[in-house]
Amino acid sequence: MSKFVYFFGKDVTDGKSSMKDLLGGKGANLAEMANLGVPVPPGFTITTEVCVLYLKENKYPEEVLRQEKEAIDKLEALNGKRLGDPEDPLLVSVRSGARVSMPGMMDTVLNLGLTDKSVIGLAKKVNDERFAYDCYRRFIAMFGDVVLGVEFRKFDSLIEDKKKELGVKSDTDLDSKALKELVERFKGVIKLEKGFEFPQDPKVQLQMAINAVFDSWNNQRAITYRKLNGIDDSWGTAVNVQTMVYGNRGNTSGTGVAFTRNPSTGEKKFFGEYLINAQGEDVVAGIRTPDFINTLGDKIPEAYAQLVDICQRLESHFTDMQDIEFTIQEGKLYMLQTRTGKRTAAAAVKIATDMVAEGLIDKETAVNRVKAEHIDLLLHPRIDPEAKLEVIAKGLPASPGAAVGKVVFTAEAAEEMAEIGEKTILVRTETSPEDIGGMAAAQGVLTVRGGMTSHAAVVGRGMGKPCVVGCGEISIDMKNAHFMVNGFTIKEHDFITIDGSIGSVIIGKVDLIDAEINYDLRKLLIWADEIRTLGVRTNADNPADAALARELGAEGIGLCRTEHMFFGEDRIPAVREMIMAEDEKTRKKALKRLLPMQKEDFIGIFRSMEGLPVTIRLLDPPLHEFLPDKEELDEKLRELETSGDCGKIDEVKKVIQRVVSLKELNPMLGHRGCRLGITYPEIYNMQVRAIMEAACELTAEGMEIVPEIMIPLVGLVKELSLSKEEVCKTAETVMAEKGMKIDYKVGTMIELPRATIVADQIAKEADFFSFGTNDLTQTTFGFSRDDVSKFVPIYQKAGILEHDPFAVLDQEGVGELMKIGIGKGRSVKPELKIGICGEHGGEPKSITFAHQIGIDYVSCSPYRVPIARLVAAQSTMEIRDAKNKRT
């Protein structure tokens, strides 16, 4: 028979931490803590399977209800209290808990079990009437909101009215008489809104709360969060029913959240916040600003010492940084949750490398713990230290990195601005789970209230959004759409900059610069290099980028686009002269002028990559790209005609004529790539001469130069054989002139579907293949690379496409063609070296796929090289482990 309900508590625990899929993260870890002898209030978990069944059928199998009843009986027996007992009632919390944490996205009900009768019993038992009624009014409001769908605001405004009536400021100033009256008014609201009385049977309350938590799996904010975080909709949540403990029972009680290491920096230091005399949700909700955890020892020393000890034990047990929640009730500590803590990118790297040094984890685990997104973030911009800053306020540095954007005050505004490509900073009093979409759309978040573990801080760190919280100097005036701070008024859509690493708010737009790789990251990437079997090269077409990429770990150049060299200001006249040439002789003359410049480029690049392979692709784009725009020329002609400068008029007219004659209807499918090389062989000849002369000169200096010449856009084997013949002829001529022998290779891009299909023929002529997945995607889909923005986002919204195929490789279509190409190519040359140099070479999912289908190396832009190194190591382990599993 299926087990649907799992109990946890000292000596009576059914679950364990490895059962997260079934018990959810919270339930599985509560069980694990109980197994470890950590003080956990007892309770039970109803499994995610039940959630899936319930959401499908809208009812429970009989067996679930039977097991639930059995668990309630057990819980009552263990506590020596009964639900709804008028003398001494058992009170419970009801919380969600999916297999991966979704902070604040689903619902929670606290103090369940209070009724008109049991509240009297509770008051007597704890000898504190105010406390009992405070719990009761909180419960009714929470139940009303979460379970019955009555707006929380309706209860809140009654509290405000009561405070006004009594002339008091804070909730804590309300005495038991006031709270009793509030309870009655709250119940009245429910009767009015729902047409029935607030339920007075705790078992009915419990079942309704359980249903509501299961239902909250499908609320809008949970759906949005899952979408943003790639969480499967079919998983469902578990429900945890747990004995209530109270942090609001006076000055030896409190509640808090803590991390075993600093989640922002990764520093090995106990980190967290707490509130004395407060209930759980108060800390995360950011209602009161909490104290730093290290002062708790002065207030409740024994519980603090025990907390520190338990946290260390939990970290060693789970071998990762833990994020815990605790409550101290009258000096006695209870752990309410432990989970792997979310961390910033910098902290992820530091914690992983530190834990290797501490012997807690091995290098492979460390490499697997850091995510590609982390590396991406570390290479994100920060404020230029040279920039002049006008800091207008300071808050808490909740999530590092700098962000610049226009001020908006609502999540919707941030989303709307993002739709039109505008960058924003979302400024809020505090964020709530409803703001999640806006936070994702904004560049950064700034809040007036809340601490380092407030909603904004936790979510900001998780998303990697720069975030400054608790900036109390700011006052937001929503009516007039501005905020004021220290004498400044910042209007909606004014630019501000925030620095989430130090908590500063800066007026205006500040220059940001890219981050560099620190010592820990360097170490981690070296471990990644030791593990990985997939090569990582870079796409670079100038010596500076090549040097940068080498510094970032590139093992050569996988794509040097030579056309980029033609665009230089000093080259464009010679390039245009070459294009304007009416005969071969004039063209050759212009090419002669270009030769030394190209050679100089190659010398620089070869030097930067000494000893490593450099793949140079011969000219690819259609020639008209190097000529001025037709409209620009027409304008110039008009100007000349008005000024009467006849000398130049003819010249411009000639250029216009050439532009018109070169114009193509589909330039991406036109006279480009090897088609250009075949029709104007002298262009490729000049380039090959420049490559080989550069290589000979540097070899003569004693350098090891490894040139690989690559022919673009080949679809027919004869295109390659002809081009290759020309390349080799020129290369041999240069080497003969120089009296040298260079080991060079001639290969081809595979970027047309036809090329993948006839890859066996092509492989006979090629020393290597490199997949140009940009063009291969374009030609496989028939999507113009330059026009996709008009429809691909709509396709994504409509669910026609999951990803933009130009960003994430389409494995089903383009990927299948690649597999055909690899298979056919290697059928004639088993050792054929194959790379990928389209944009996908730096995209994590695509890198893993490329590795799985047998690619030898990926090539990507310099700043993506570290990401590729990490992902390559992770995919090496994944492939190895899958293979070991099979054998």
- The two structure tokens encoding residue 474: 């700011």
Assess contact for 466 and 402: CB atoms under 8 A: yes
Q: How far apart are CA 808 and CA 825, in angstroms?
A: 24
Among Mg ion, ligand PEP, none, the one that 129 touches (CB under a kind-dependent 5 to 8 A) is none
Nearer to ligand PEP, 217 or 771 (CB): 771
CB of 407 to Mg ion, least distance (A): 41
Among Mg ion, ligand PEP, none, the one that 659 touches (CB under a kind-dependent 5 to 8 A) is none
Contacts with ligand PEP by CB under 6 A lie at: 559, 561, 620, 751, 772-775, 837-838
Residue 839 lies near Mg ion (rule: CB under 5 A): no
Q: CA-based diameter of the chain, in Å?
A: 107
* Nearest residue to 353 (alpha-carbon basis) of 533, 536, 525: 525
Query: Applying CB under 5 A, what is the total number of residues that bind Mg ion?
Result: 3
Nearer to ligand PEP, 397 or 772 (CB): 772
Nearer to ligand PEP, 376 or 775 (CB): 775
* Nearest residue to 648 (alpha-carbon basis) of 637, 660, 664: 637
CB of 778 to Mg ion, least distance (A): 8
CB of 485 to ligand PEP, least distance (A): 47
CB of 750 to ligand PEP, least distance (A): 10
* CB contact set of 213 (below 8 Å; sequence gap of 6+): 94, 95, 96, 106, 107, 108, 109, 237, 239
Among Mg ion, ligand PEP, none, the one that 838 touches (CB under a kind-dependent 5 to 8 A) is ligand PEP
Assess contact for 477 and 467: CB atoms under 8 A: no
Nearer to ligand PEP, 273 or 620 (CB): 620
Q: Is 167 exposed, middle or buried (0-12, 13-18, 19+ CB in 10 A)?
A: exposed
Q: Give the number of C-alpha atoms closer than 13 A to the C-alpha of residue 853, restricted to the C-beta side.
A: 25
Q: How far apart are CA 703 and CA 695, in angstroms?
A: 9
CB of 775 to ligand PEP, least distance (A): 3
Angle at 759 between CA 753 and CA 762, to 5 degrees: 115
Nearer to ligand PEP, 41 or 772 (CB): 772
CB of 776 to ligand PEP, least distance (A): 7
- The two structure tokens encoding residue 751: 């970027």
Q: How far apart are CA 399 and CA 381, in angstroms?
A: 13
CB of 713 to Mg ion, least distance (A): 7
* CB contact set of 800 (below 8 Å; sequence gap of 6+): none
Among ligand PEP, Mg ion, none, the one that 561 touches (CB under a kind-dependent 5 to 8 A) is ligand PEP
From residue 508, give the alpha-carbon distance in Å to each of 23, 389, 445, 476, 493.
Answer: 48, 9, 15, 18, 11
CB of 859 to ligand PEP, least distance (A): 8
Residues in the chain: 887
Assess contact for 451 and 429: CB atoms under 8 A: no
CB of 832 to ligand PEP, least distance (A): 19
CB of 711 to ligand PEP, least distance (A): 12
Nearer to ligand PEP, 126 or 808 (CB): 808
Task: Check the CA dihedral 367-370-371-377 and report its sign.
Answer: negative
Nearer to Mg ion, 162 or 672 (CB): 672
- The two structure tokens encoding residue 56: 């499908």
CB of 838 to Mg ion, least distance (A): 7
**Amino acid, res. 791:** F
* Cβ count within 10 A of residue 603: 19
Among ligand PEP, Mg ion, none, the one that 852 touches (CB under a kind-dependent 5 to 8 A) is none
User: What is the secondary structure of 316-331 as a DSSP string?
Assistant: HHHTS-EEEEEEEETT
Phi, psi at residue 536, to the nearest 5°? -130, 115
Among Mg ion, ligand PEP, none, the one that 380 touches (CB under a kind-dependent 5 to 8 A) is none
840 is catalytic: no
* Nearest residue to 46 (alpha-carbon basis) of 245, 286, 210, 220: 210
Among ligand PEP, Mg ion, none, the one that 773 touches (CB under a kind-dependent 5 to 8 A) is ligand PEP
Strand partners, 257: 273, 325
Helices (H) and strands (E) in the chain, counts: 35, 33
Q: How far apart are CA 223 and CA 392, in angstroms?
A: 37
Residue 775 lies near Mg ion (rule: CB under 5 A): yes
* CB contact set of 388 (below 8 Å; sequence gap of 6+): none
From residue 789, give the alpha-carbon distance in Å to each of 360, 780, 804.
Answer: 47, 17, 9
Among ligand PEP, Mg ion, none, the one that 559 touches (CB under a kind-dependent 5 to 8 A) is ligand PEP
Nearer to ligand PEP, 483 or 768 (CB): 768
CB of 692 to ligand PEP, least distance (A): 22
- Among 682, 751, 765, 843, indicate the residue that binds Mg ion (CB under 5 A): 751
Nearer to ligand PEP, 249 or 561 (CB): 561
Among Mg ion, ligand PEP, none, the one that 471 touches (CB under a kind-dependent 5 to 8 A) is none
Q: How far apart are CA 271 and CA 261, in angstroms?
A: 6
Q: How far apart are CA 703 and CA 714, in angstroms?
A: 32
Catalytic residue selected from 380, 455, 482, 624: 455
Catalytic residue selected from 135, 837, 840, 860: 837
Q: Among 388-396, 583-591, 686-694, 774-782, which window interacts with Mg ion (CB under 5 A)? A: 774-782
482 is catalytic: no
* Nearest residue to 451 (alpha-carbon basis) of 301, 288, 306, 269: 288
Among Mg ion, ligand PEP, none, the one that 32 touches (CB under a kind-dependent 5 to 8 A) is none
Angle at 657 between CA 656 and CA 661, to 5 degrees: 115
Say how many Å lie between the first and final Cα of the chain, rounded.
33
Nearer to ligand PEP, 761 or 778 (CB): 778
Nearer to Mg ion, 32 or 775 (CB): 775
Among ligand PEP, Mg ion, none, the one that 286 touches (CB under a kind-dependent 5 to 8 A) is none
Nearer to ligand PEP, 97 or 838 (CB): 838
Helix or strand run (H / E) with residue 817: helix 814-828
* Nearest residue to 662 (alpha-carbon basis) of 701, 622, 689, 696: 622
- Among 42, 470, 772, 815, indicate the residue that binds Mg ion (CB under 5 A): 772
Residue 215 lies near Mg ion (rule: CB under 5 A): no
- The two structure tokens encoding residue 92: 């419970």
Assess contact for 624 and 664: CB atoms under 8 A: yes
Catalytic residues: 455, 837
Q: Which residues bind Mg ion (CB under 5 A)?
A: 751, 772, 775
